[in-house]
Structure 1
Amino acid sequence: MKITFRCDPSLIELLPRPVPAKAALPAWLREMAPRMPSPVHGRAIRTVKQCPPFVDAMTHGFMILLPCDVRVAQGRFEWDWPLPPLALDNHPRAPLSFHVPEQIAGSPLAQGGQSAVKFNSFWTIELEPGWSLMAVHPVNRLDLPFRLLSGLVDADRFHEVGINFPALWTDEGFEGVLPRGTPIAQCYPVPRGGADELICEPMSDERQQGYETLAAKIMAGPGVYRKGFRRKSG
């Protein structure tokens, strides 16, 4: 899969570039202990740091990064980001804009009269024919003070302008700086179209035996999925 990012020529040396998600893992994951004592189990047990599905989800796709420091104080957002003249007249210059509350009124996303944050895009994203772009909140990143709203864009066709990323600001008590390079959106290509056929059926005798065999291995010791089933990306 070739993914092409483009930006205004004046910004090519100024913007943080999208990075593979595995290059943007948070410090807390690296610093976590692989095992912790559990009073319930009476022994040390593995933490999520040793759970391949948990970690693999965090390393899937690529990250769009915040282009500059954003200061947050008393519900106000400020930045000092002087940009050079741009080649494009209709291009954003601010890292953030907003959606008015009425755009999410009546949904579970509504937070009283609070506006939704919109992370403006400084990169266009082009995918190969037949592929769409899924954008989600950086996976398992509950430490971030916002929650990105998921979206799916046919980026094989819509790629002349950037994709903006709306989010809810969830940490009302956050005071400080959201630094340049903070992951704001985790993205990955998905093939166009959904499931063609969903089949629900009882397990055959053979499937039941397979279930019992694999379940017994899992109960006998750790690492069964990681050693026998996981296919690590390059």
Structure 2
Amino acid sequence: MIKARCHPALEPILPKPMEAGRALPDWLRDMPSEVAAPSLGGESVRTLKHCPPLIDALSLGVLIPLATDLSFAEGEVSWDWAPPVLEDARISRAPIGVHVPEQTMGAPFRMAPGLILKFMNFWTLEAPEGWSLLFTHPLNREDLPFRTLSGVVDCDLFRDGYVHFPALWQEAGFTGILPAGTPVAQVIALPRGAQGLETGVMDPAEVAANRAVQTELQEARGIYRRRFRH
């Protein structure tokens, strides 16, 4: 279990982290279940709404929300947020920080010219002993106008510090509000240590088992959901 804690003076004003499965995006709910595919002669096909691996990725771990509304206009970012001064803590009162573009020199990142944000996180995050936390862009969330960079932190050890989230702004000329509560990072607990990899070829029994699974998947709907998913 991931534990999130905030300073008691901030608790009344901060959106809370949430289990990702409780905050699925509106577009998933709103998209049709089936559509006609002109490329298949108008045959009806099921949409991503029926894709358990995609939905499981959207539901994985914890989402960290943006602390307050951010306003974007003419290449500038502003906010109207006045958290209390914390005499017994050392953390920024601003909801974002910045990185200079030169810090990404040589990296093949796509972003609006010169705009790299750092979403400030006001929650400490603790992982179980022996586990690390993967911080990444909310999975499959291409609707968001930014892309959070991924990183791994040993939060069983770094449980009393704050992990902040560098993000590349991707919509040039964006004007509008990025509202408080927008998910800015997805947090996934990982057992620490080498994952390992073994490659090889299937033996005859494995070939037969593989063929049986593929045949079953092709001949009936919902097999993956019923048989291969917890």
Q: Taking structure 1 as the reference length, what is the TM-score of the superposition? A: 0.93
Structure 2 counterparts to residues 1-40 of structure 1, below 5 A: 1=1, 3-40=2-39
Alignment correspondent of 1:187: 187
* Secondary structure, aligned partner of 2:84: coil
Question: Which whole-Å CA distance do the structure 2 matches of 1:173 and 1:206 have between them?
Answer: 57
Identity of aligned residues (%): 43
Report the Cα offset of residue 175 of structure 1. Answer: 1.1
- Work out whether residues 99 and 118 of structure 1, in 8 Å CA contact, stay in contact via their aligned partners in 2: yes
Once structures 1 and 2 are overlaid, which stretch shifts more, 34-43 or 169-178? Answer: 34-43
After superposition, the Cα gap between the structure-2 partners of 1:111 and 1:179, relative to the gap in structure 1 and judged at 3 Å, is closer
Question: Which whole-Å CA distance do the structure 1 matches of 2:139 and 2:89 have between them?
Answer: 34
Report the Cα offset of residue 60 of structure 1. Answer: 0.4
- Work out whether residues 65 and 184 of structure 1, in 8 Å CA contact, stay in contact via their aligned partners in 2: yes
Alignment correspondent of 2:219: 220
Alignment correspondent of 1:81: 81
Report the Cα offset of residue 89 of structure 1. Answer: 4.5
Question: AA paired with 1:123?
Answer: W
After superposition, the Cα gap between the structure-2 partners of 1:227 and 1:163, relative to the gap in structure 1 and judged at 3 Å, is same
- Work out whether residues 120 and 164 of structure 1, in 8 Å CA contact, stay in contact via their aligned partners in 2: yes
Tell me if 1:177 matches 2:173.
no
Report the Cα offset of residue 85 of structure 1. Answer: 2.3
Structure 2 counterparts to residues 35-50 of structure 1, below 5 A: 35-41=34-40, 42-50=42-50
- Work out whether residues 35 and 46 of structure 2, in 8 Å CA contact, stay in contact via their aligned partners in 1: yes
Question: Which whole-Å CA distance do the structure 1 matches of 2:103 and 2:60 have between them?
Answer: 30
Question: Which whole-Å CA distance do the structure 2 matches of 1:110 and 1:38 have between them?
Answer: 31
| Aligned length in residues | 229
Q: Taking structure 2 as the reference length, what is the TM-score of the superposition? A: 0.95
Once structures 1 and 2 are overlaid, which stretch shifts more, 95-104 or 181-190? Answer: 95-104
- CA displacement, residues 75-125 of structure 1 (integer Å, 9 cap, x when unaligned): 111100011221335211111111111211111127586142100110111
* Secondary structure, aligned partner of 2:39: coil
Alignment correspondent of 1:149: 149
Question: Which whole-Å CA distance do the structure 2 matches of 1:159 and 1:204 have between them?
Answer: 46
Question: Which whole-Å CA distance do the structure 2 matches of 1:139 and 1:202 have between them?
Answer: 32
- Work out whether residues 112 and 169 of structure 2, in 8 Å CA contact, stay in contact via their aligned partners in 1: no
Question: AA paired with 1:32?
Answer: M
Question: AA paired with 1:120?
Answer: M
Question: AA paired with 1:205?
Answer: P
Alignment correspondent of 1:55: 55
- Work out whether residues 101 and 110 of structure 1, in 8 Å CA contact, stay in contact via their aligned partners in 2: no
- Work out whether residues 69 and 177 of structure 1, in 8 Å CA contact, stay in contact via their aligned partners in 2: yes
After superposition, the Cα gap between the structure-2 partners of 1:89 and 1:217, relative to the gap in structure 1 and judged at 3 Å, is closer
RMSD between superposed Cα atoms in Å? 1.5
- Work out whether residues 21 and 61 of structure 1, in 8 Å CA contact, stay in contact via their aligned partners in 2: yes
Alignment correspondent of 2:109: 109
- Work out whether residues 5 and 123 of structure 2, in 8 Å CA contact, stay in contact via their aligned partners in 1: yes
Question: Which whole-Å CA distance do the structure 2 matches of 1:137 and 1:213 have between them?
Answer: 36
Question: AA paired with 2:176?
Answer: G
After superposition, the Cα gap between the structure-2 partners of 1:111 and 1:141, relative to the gap in structure 1 and judged at 3 Å, is closer
Question: AA paired with 2:106?
Answer: G
Structure 2 residue ranges without an equivalent (≥5): none
- Work out whether residues 145 and 169 of structure 2, in 8 Å CA contact, stay in contact via their aligned partners in 1: yes
